[in-house]
């Protein structure tokens, strides 16, 4: 058995061999960036392109009336955010989770709250109300655990999954705040899974792990993983075989950070990191196996023999905080040859541009038809030149742009500028509808959050 030192980092390959990560160099640039950041505490990333993009695309901005780390979203940003909310709920329901909504304030005089808060450290917002001091939640754990501790649970109910999209508050240091990637207020799609025992938890955790990787891959990115593992799990033969099986499933080397046994409530805490083109590490998705909180929050279930037992709890946020996900999407887009977002999440999917006033009514009717068909379409009816309005739509990364002139009003085909191809193709109305529908199939939909006509839309910043 290999000797793992607490506080040190190791690199484990898919055959389960581990070596010290202190002086290794790896070919995978993303993994090297993670090693540099975690082991050597240095990051080469100076720029975070998503910050410029969130402003340029008019999605989000800093809020001068609040403190740093609290951002505001424009109607376009709110639309993207809500689509991600829908996606997070979709994933939770597919996994069989039970959604709940719980408070954001928790009384620090109560033991489970203060103990949990102590483990969390200094980054907690405190709020005074009357004579009491409350913790502003930094994750959904408190509310869900409290609910579960008062619920009647049987072994038949397990594994039991709970879900909440939790607005969470963490007092990060000023210098650590980065656009949407690191905020003081953010939204975590938190899932907790109660399992009968560690064996069941390991099996469930494997499924969650796979799902976390898959969700990232759907957007074309490969996470690099950091495993924080307690020393006793690594040194137990079953535990270490389990860790090896996870690395094998991941299919590439992972960085392992060993923590002293019994320090945290978890024994395994995996961070799936998105690495931007600039080498910035954005911790996106997470999953933990928790062996401490069932006891702390007095959560129990009744086993086959009628005895009360403590469950093992998995914490996970399959797509990570929604704001970080937005940052990942924008960072990824900025590295593409033709920067773009997936069609289902584009605030505007089809833009019609009328040539002169004669074709305006036709363009409006078309856009209305598309919106009735659950495709977000708008009309740039402003008096600027067609060329300028096309350029404008390009700046907004709109995937489909259609210029409507006399020929089109008279029943001709629609000249559709397809952003991803940098080409204009003649299509009929049904063809364009089908193309957008095919691309957005299975993803959430929301209608336009702003006026369909650009002439009637303020410029939000």
Phi and psi at residue 289, to the nearest 5°: -105, 120
Q: How many CB atoms lie within 10 A of CB 71?
A: 21
Cβ proximity to Zn ion: between 259 and 363 the closer is 259
Please report how close the Cβ of residue 315 comes to Zn ion at its closest, in angstroms: 3
| Cβ–Cβ < 8 Å for 123, 131 | no
List 315, 376, 417, 419, residue binding Zn ion (CB under 5 A): 315
Cβ proximity to Zn ion: between 139 and 287 the closer is 139
289 scored as a contact of Zn ion (CB under 5 A): no
Stretch that binds Zn ion, among 85-93, 257-265, 270-278, 313-321 (CB under 5 A): 313-321
Quick note: the x/- pattern for Zn ion over 133-152, rule CB under 5 A, is ------x-x-----------
Please report how close the Cβ of residue 63 comes to Zn ion at its closest, in angstroms: 27
| Cβ–Cβ < 8 Å for 180, 71 | yes
Please report how close the Cβ of residue 267 comes to Zn ion at its closest, in angstroms: 14
Stretch that binds Zn ion, among 82-90, 131-139, 151-159, 363-371 (CB under 5 A): 131-139
Please report how close the Cβ of residue 84 comes to Zn ion at its closest, in angstroms: 19
Cβ proximity to Zn ion: between 139 and 258 the closer is 139
Stretch that binds Zn ion, among 40-48, 196-204, 312-320, 443-451 (CB under 5 A): 312-320
Please report how close the Cβ of residue 234 comes to Zn ion at its closest, in angstroms: 23
Cβ proximity to Zn ion: between 160 and 452 the closer is 160
| Cβ–Cβ < 8 Å for 6, 258 | yes
Please report how close the Cβ of residue 372 comes to Zn ion at its closest, in angstroms: 41
Please report how close the Cβ of residue 349 comes to Zn ion at its closest, in angstroms: 35
Cβ proximity to Zn ion: between 325 and 370 the closer is 325
Cβ proximity to Zn ion: between 145 and 221 the closer is 145
Q: How far apart (Å, rounded) are the C-alpha atoms in residues 414 and 426?
A: 5
Q: Which residues in this chain contact Zn ion in the complex, by CB under 5 A?
A: 139, 141, 315
């Amino acid at each position: 058995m290999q000797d793992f030192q607490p506080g040190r980092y190791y690199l484990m390959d898919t055959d389960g061999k581990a070596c010290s990560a202190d002086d290794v160099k790896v070919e995978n640039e993303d993994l090297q960036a993670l090693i540099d950041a975690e082991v050597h505490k240095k990051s080469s990333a100076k720029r975070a392109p998503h910050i410029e993009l969130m402003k340029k695309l008019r999605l989000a901005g800093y809020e001068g009336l609040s403190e740093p780390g609290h951002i505001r979203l424009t109607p376009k940003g709110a639309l993207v955010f809500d689509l991600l909310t829908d996606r997070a709920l979709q994933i939770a329901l597919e996994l069989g989770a039970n959604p709940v909504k719980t408070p954001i304030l928790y009384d620090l005089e109560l033991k489970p709250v203060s103990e949990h808060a102590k483990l969390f450290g200094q980054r907690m917002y405190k709020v005074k109300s009357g004579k009491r001091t409350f913790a502003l939640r930094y994750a959904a754990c408190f509310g869900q655990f409290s609910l579960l501790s008062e619920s009647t649970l049987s072994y038949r109910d397990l594994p039991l999954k709970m879900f909440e999209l939790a607005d969470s508050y963490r007092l990060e240091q000023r210098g650590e705040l980065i656009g949407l990637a690191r905020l003081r207020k953010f939204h975590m799609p938190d899932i907790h899974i109660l399992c009968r025992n560690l064996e069941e938890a390991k099996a469930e955790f494997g499924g969650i792990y796979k799902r976390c990787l898959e969700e990232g891959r759907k957007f074309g990115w490969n996470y690099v993983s950091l495993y924080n593992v307690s020393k006793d799990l690594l040194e137990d033969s079953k535990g270490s075989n389990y860790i090896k099986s996870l690395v094998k499933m991941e299919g590439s080397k992972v960085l392992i950070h060993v923590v002293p046994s019994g320090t945290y409530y978890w024994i395994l805490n995996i961070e799936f990191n998105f690495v931007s083109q600039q080498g910035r590490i954005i911790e996106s998705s997470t999953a933990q196996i928790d062996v401490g909180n069932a006891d702390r929050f007095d959560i129990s279930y009744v086993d086959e023999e009628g005895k009360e037992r403590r469950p093992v709890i998995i914490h996970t946020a399959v797509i990570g905080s929604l704001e970080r996900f937005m940052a990942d999407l924008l960072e990824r887009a900025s590295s593409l040859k033709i920067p773009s977002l997936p069609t289902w999440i584009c605030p505007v999917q089809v833009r019609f541009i009328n040539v002169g006033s004669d074709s305006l009514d036709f363009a409006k009717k078309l856009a209305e038809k598309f919106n009735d068909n659950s495709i977000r379409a708008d009309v740039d009816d402003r008096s600027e030149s067609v060329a300028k309005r096309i350029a404008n739509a390009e700046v907004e990364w709109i995937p489909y742009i259609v210029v409507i002139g006399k020929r089109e009003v008279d029943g001709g085909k629609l000249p559709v500028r397809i952003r991803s191809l940098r080409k204009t193709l003649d299509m009929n109305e049904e063809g364009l509808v089908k193309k957008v529908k095919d691309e957005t199939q299975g993803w959430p939909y929301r209608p336009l959050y702003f006026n369909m006509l650009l002439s009637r839309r303020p410029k939000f910043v």
